[in-house]
Amino acid sequence: MRTGTRLWDRVRTMRGGVVTSVCLGLLAAFFAPLLSPDSAGAQADSTHYQTLQLGERSRGMAGAFTAFAADGAAIWFNPAGLPLLEPKLLQGSLSLIQRRTLTYSGALVSDGPDGPGGEDQVEDFKLKSNPNLPGFAVASFAVGKRKEELDDRKPLQIAISAFVLYNVSLGGDVNFQDEFLRTNSLQFYQDDRAAYFAAAIGHRPTRNFSWGITLLARNRVIEHVETASLTLGGTQDPSRGSPCPTSPTIPFCVFDATQISRNTVFKMNSWDLSLRIGLLNLIGKRWRLGLMFQPPGLNVGGKSNLRFELTDVVSSNSPINPGLSDSVFGTPESGARSPIPWELRLGVSYVISSKVVVAADVQFVGRVPDGSIAPGTPQLEGRANTSGILLADSTKRDFTWNVSFGSEIQITKFLFTRFGFLTDNSSAPDASGAGEFIRPPKIDRYGFSASVGGAKNGKGLSAGVSVLFGKGTANGLDFRNEAFENDTNFLRVPVKERILIISVGGDIGQTADVVKTSIKAKKSREEIEAEEEAEREAEAADMESETDPDLKAAKQRAIEAQQEVKDAEERAKEVEKEVQELERQKKIRAGENLDPDDQGAIQGATQSGIETIR
């Protein structure tokens, strides 16, 4: 690939209103990456590690689940809690609504109407998004021999799970005009998804102690597309009339302009493995202490593909490389990585009474060295990132920590509620001041969660809401002349964040047992009917072979009586259904008197049923 001068070197030749119009047009595009999954929602992502979408119970308790670990989310928070679950469990949760609002202060700074050296022009910016949060599902079952010291429970529990922590797609088409009314455009699209597949086992060797381990395979897929077409500078030629014959959308033809066309398609697919090791100790009947440790993840494969195309035709009047015609095209392939840091969670829970439980967690997450998600991708000297100007591809993360507090309260025998508080601090590096490239936002959050639901016979359904507030710094744009001269067009500006999540979740506990029992019952009925039919055929054959007329007649009467009994039973079932239907209709018309026809129908059906049974 050939080298060339900076894109900003082309743009900085413009002054005053031209720069401002271009900046305002580009603003939405440059801030679009902040809506990417790396900062979307209260979930584990590349800069935040608190998780509020793996199970409605853990969400309602704000993730204070390392010691409590009382549902399928234990596969993530602490696999040592698995042996304490229902022997057979199927559970899921889904976020129905998520709304996120970001407010930037001083997001855009440019030279004001007085030009360079005059009063700066400052713009704020506000973004709203509704990211998609996929659901979570887990299935677990107990294995081994039942032990009396474990309350007749099996000591081993195996679980499998599949979930997507984030899956967000965004895009836009930004069009803007310069002082010659020429239309320039910038299109962009970004899709980022991280899917997890997990398998876990928990073992309870004694009544008060259990341990567990979860193996997770993460697949992160990114697709980032940018297309920019810019025409800068030039000289108007009114002699050819208005509008311009070759470009009727502009008043006059423009000659000797700089033209820039840039197309980028970046795709990445990375696979990483990680382990989550858990310990759980039950102290008496009230206390639980939990620990979960995750060593740094292991990259097991991945590939990135880049299709990059740049065409740059420079005006002959440009002070930089006048008349240069530059064209670059490449389709390089390289590796892919998305490092998983080490994580330590410590938790405690306490049963205040038979209806109230409280829990607390503290989380520590290690740092990640600097690098690129696509190491080895070739770069052009003096130009913006070939993988995408709007792609924050740095892997560097700092050490961070968080706390969670939660409570579960049983209101009635079947109704319960949960409350929680959490922090969700960012691990993005502190990068205040100006810079040459886009960087991940650093937003520290705190929030509250609550849910209400019901449960009966091992089955439950609940709905919850979570609200988070955050503030920190994010990317801004500096289009002042000084920034162009120093090539420091990215600013860090103050930002405020609001997140609202509404979700539902539930588990169907022993559903597997119910289904299995129903299948067995169905098979039993079919077997019984087959045996009865075979028995009737045998009796009929025996009757036909009988030579004594009196005995043959008696056997015939017995077969007919058995058939009458069977037919009577079928009629009794039909009449019973008729009675139930009439009573159901009666309840629907509650408060109304039955007319004689209805009363007669019910009495007749009842009497018919009695006679049939007799």
Eight-state DSSP code of residue 32? G
Dihedral (Cα; 394, 395, 400, 402), 10-degree rounding: 100
Instruction: Please tell me the predicted confidence (pLDDT) of residue 223.
Output: 92
Encoded tokens for 537 = 């055929």
What pLDDT is attached to residue 532?
74
The pTM score is 0.72
List the structure tokens of 143: 């294995």
- Work out the mean pLDDT of the chain and round it to a whole number: 77
What is the pLDDT, as a whole number, of residue 587?
61
Q: How many angstroms separate the first and last alpha carbons of the chain?
A: 97
pLDDT of residue 131: 54
pLDDT at 278 over 90: yes
Q: pLDDT > 90: what percent of the chain? A: 27
Q: CA neighbours within 13 Å on the CB side: how many for 387?
A: 23
Residue 445: the pLDDT is: 93
Mean pLDDT of 508-529: 47
Structure confidence by residue, pLDDT tens digits, 459-488: 778 888 899 999 998 877 766 655 544 556
Are 336 and 303 a contacting pair, CB within 8 Å?
yes
Average pLDDT over residues 124-141: 72
Query: What does 494-533 look like in DSSP terms, one character per residue?
Result: EEEEEEEEEEEEEE-TTHHHHHHHHHHHHHHHHHHHHHHH
Average pLDDT over residues 383-388: 76
For the chain, give the percent of residues with pLDDT over 70.
73
- Residues 359-381, mean pLDDT to the nearest whole number: 89
In the chain, what's the furthest Cα-to-Cα distance?
Answer: 127
**pLDDT at position 599:** 53
Q: Strands 459-479 and 88-111: what pairing? A: parallel
Of the listed ranges 65-69, 73-77, 78-82, 517-521, the one predicted with least confidence? 517-521
Range of 80-84, 315-319, 523-527 with top mean pLDDT: 80-84
Q: How far is CA 30 from its chain centroid?
A: 24
pLDDT, tens digit, for every residue of 524-543? 556 667 777 777 787 788 77
Judged against a pLDDT cut of 90, whether residue 447 lies above it is answered with yes
- Banded model confidence at residue 456, pLDDT cuts 50, 70, 90: confident
Residue 326: pLDDT over 60: yes
Give the pLDDT score at 100. Answer: 78
Measured distance CA(518)–CA(483) in Å, rounded: 73
Please list, in sequence order, all residues whose beta carbon lies within 8 angstroms of the beta carbon of residue 564, skipping any fewer than 6 positions away: none
What's the rounded mean pLDDT across residues 192-207? 92
Q: Where is pLDDT greater, at 157 or 564?
A: 157
Query: Domain 7-229+272-297+341-368+391-509 is classified in which CATH homologous superfamily?
Result: Outer membrane protein transport protein (OMPP1/FadL/TodX) (2.40.160.60)
Q: What pLDDT shows up at residue 604? A: 54
Q: Is the pLDDT of residue 577 over 60?
A: yes
Please state at what angle helix 511-545 crosses helix 549-588, rounded to 10 degrees: 150
Asked whether the predicted pLDDT for residue 33 surpasses 60, the reply is no
Task: Take residue 487 and report the two structure tokens written for it.
Answer: 């090539």
**Confidence check: pLDDT of 30 > 50:** no
Could you tell me which residue, 315 or 362, shows the higher pLDDT?
Answer: 362
Give the residue-averaged pLDDT of 369-395: 81
Tell me, rounded to whole angstroms, the distance of Cα 146 from its chain centroid.
37
Question: Which of 133-137, 326-330, 510-514 has the highest mean predicted lDDT (pLDDT)?
Answer: 326-330
According to the model, what pLDDT value does residue 190 have? Answer: 81
More confident residue, 77 or 323: 77
Report CA 544 to chain centroid distance, whole Å.
Answer: 72
User: What confidence category does residue 172 fall into, taking pLDDT thresholds of 50, 70 and 90?
Assistant: low
Q: For 39-58, how does the pLDDT look when each residue is reduced to its tens digit (9 = 90+)?
A: 344 454 678 888 776 777 88
- Span of 173-177, 298-302, 508-512, 548-552 with lowest mean pLDDT: 508-512
Place 579 in a pLDDT band, splitting at 50, 70 and 90.
Answer: confident
Least confident of 355-359, 378-382, 402-406, 549-553: 378-382
Domain ranges of the chain: 7-229+272-297+341-368+391-509, 510-545, 560-614
The pLDDT score that the predictor gives to residue 86 is 84
Structure tokens at 170: 């965004």
